[in-house]
Structure 1
Amino acid sequence: MDKFYHSVRLDEELCKGCINCLKRCPTQAIRVQDGKARINKKFCIDCGECIRVCPHHAKHAVYDQMEEMERFRYKVALPAPSLYSQFNNLDDINIVLHALLLMGFDDVFEVSAAAELVSETTRAYLTEHEEQLPLISTACPSVVRLIRVRFPNLIPHLLPLNPPVEVAAGLAVKRAMEKTGLPREDIGICFISPCPSKVTYARSPIGTEKSEIDCVLAIKDVYPQLLKYMKQVDEDPENISISGKIGISWGHSGGEAGGLFTESYLAADGIENVIRVLEDMEDQKFTNLKFVELDACSGGCVGGVLTVENPYVAEVKLKHLRKYMPVARSHMDAETEEKAEKLMTWTESVEYEPVYNLGETMLESFVRLSRIEALSKQLPGLDCGACGAPSCKALAEDIARGEAKEEDCVYIMKERIRRLLEQEKGGQT
């Protein structure tokens, strides 16, 4: 069943078997068995919450190391808008862009520039497809994955546009090939990411067969390198930026929706809040909404686990940085805009992945559901996590699937031991 790449991994040697990750996982993908955590790949959406809360650093994200970019003859950096929010007293993003060039990249293509093009296309799509409203943003891969496995009724509401990073990657490839004459395999498109979710997207893209992103670097790895090179940049660097307020704002929650020039939107951040919104959407509790922006990380991309700055401080920095910027700079030349238009829409449909089904057939699912209801009445309902499952209901489901035993519940085990002792005493008398 599992056909997804996963960037969130477990280091068993560091795992102490605590239940911090167990209680925080939004999709109940983690179990603790034999003193070690286990990640069920079918349920994992690579949101990174387990990385954030693990006190032993047993969860980590898999991404490319800095040396990976050296295998390409021509290297292009794709900085995420959230990258600019990591630095103190930054008032010109050109300083960061020039520092990336000094760092070893041959070119830079801002993801925020592509974000402005996506915002423009989204505005048109909202007008032309009112039957799909409200549309749900597809910029966060973890949210899309969550909808695919848990909220299939909402799949028709997904905005069928590639995220800005994919549009930026496609435009960067075309520009590099035209500029250098090099073949595609010699050109490396390196995205500087705030979260593991984007790593997963690059390896297992949504809405397109293959991503143009060749490697994904973590902001936390690039950050210390950039600090050194930023000191070498002129005080008044040449303006090479091609993005404005709208594109930069995509780095924090509400930024994408704000670029649509409509008040009929909802923006939620933090995976638990996202789930609540999706549940309410499924129950049709929202009316007159045109657009729903959902970010798995608190604060939006600035809250990704691969960043270094406090997300709320980072959001303030981003808002300060954009203060004197033009609203947008998406007025690229006609040829570039035509290329972007071809890169914008999905070429493959997104389908429901029934990973939470209890059985292979409807009959088997009903039989197991009945057993789960019976087991739930027997279990204490404390959701203590001592059994290695996040809740009593989750344990009941595991038992019904044959993945756990009733004796895994310490309360049931204690009760059975008590009865055995009583029977033994009764037999002796």
Structure 2
Amino acid sequence: MVAADTTKPEVPVLPGRLPIAGHAPLLMSQGLRLMERARDTAPVVRIYLGRKPVYVVNDADLLRRVLVTDAPAFAGKGPLVEKAKLVLGNGISCSTGDFNHRQRRLMQPAFHKERVAGYVDVMRAIAGERIAGWRDGDRIVMEQEMREIALTVAAKALFASDIGREAVEEFRTSIPIAVSGVAVRTMMPALAALPTPGNRRFDRALHRLHQIIDRMIQAYRRDGVDHGDVLSMLLAARDEDTGEPMPDLQVHAEVMTIATAATETTNGALVWAAYELGQREDVERRLHEELTDVLSDRPVTAADLPKLEYTRRFLSEVLRLYAMWVLTRQTTRAVELGGHTLPAGATIMFSPQAIHRDPRIYRDPLRFDPDRWLPERAAEVPRNAFLPFGSGRYICIGEQFAMTEMLVVFATLVRRLRLRPVPGHVVKPSVAKGGLPNSLPMVVESRRT
């Protein structure tokens, strides 16, 4: 690592800074557009959230340094994650350093490929049951429907036993309220102290979630049976150095982490996949042809998933265009990056979605094209320029689970139904909803051919 050099030029400031507020209003109103402006300005630019400087990294090679090759110098996750930790606990999405590495080792068996394959039947049943309630001509709110599927899958993966039914229902009710409240507390912490109806709903939902998770941990400890679910795996995990189990407080934090990730990540991908499916009859037709060839008239199984090559390419393209729009890291010491010196404790911000839409990396980047992920074309994309699940030491541990769930959901949906957009309805990403659509109503058509 090159030592920090204070003679290096200052990082340029992105135009549009306001007195006192800095770039915060633009970040909240423009979201991805602001990240794209930063990307097109310089490899590293400075924005201000209030008076606090934040360094936006816009170059894929520099981002690989941040996430992979020089990761120890950028090992902090930033102040937004620190605020989320106050609500979610020190789970794998909020923890850092050696502790995070230890937790990843303990949790990894719950997300091994073979273990994830065991959840396919549950995923298919949940998706099938939800979709069975849709009727020809129904107008459904897609973000609500996909959230129900994602939350129920996550809850049943966590709690497969009969005593877990209450927890599944509580998660379906309270997790969306908790996720929304966490977003407010990380982006606008001053609002969290106000006695608003929304804050009271959040407090009640969080209290119920903490209660039910604690009850489930205690019940599983007493039972001592491996139910084949994630909670059983967390309770059975032992530190390879000390042989000690994961403390109940940490198990609690990891359960909260897994449940909220299902809402924020998988749900978002499912919703945007439904949107693209409704926009593109050619894509929908190819998906259906592949599913017919592979499955004929039977339900999808874990053994079928490797054969769904076009469906996987379709989902990869969804993840490219609709990845997380912003993530953060924090420097652990002064460091040189892109010809500039960043101080210790500096907040680093980057946008996977802006990188994924960079015309210097992707040809015709705004075009939805699943075939860009054919092996010969995918080889043209630098490995550090596709990061829907992050990269390096903090890459999402649930990547395999999420991809499996998306494949199963769309294999189940496309076999039965078509989705069509509502005429005249304009769909836009919402910063307040973490990049989800402002609203995505769709019309159901029964599949007759």
The TM-score range, normalised by the shorter chain, is: under 0.3
Q: Greater Rg, structure 1 or structure 2? A: 1
TM-score normalized with structure 2 length: 0.25
TM-score normalized with structure 1 length: 0.26
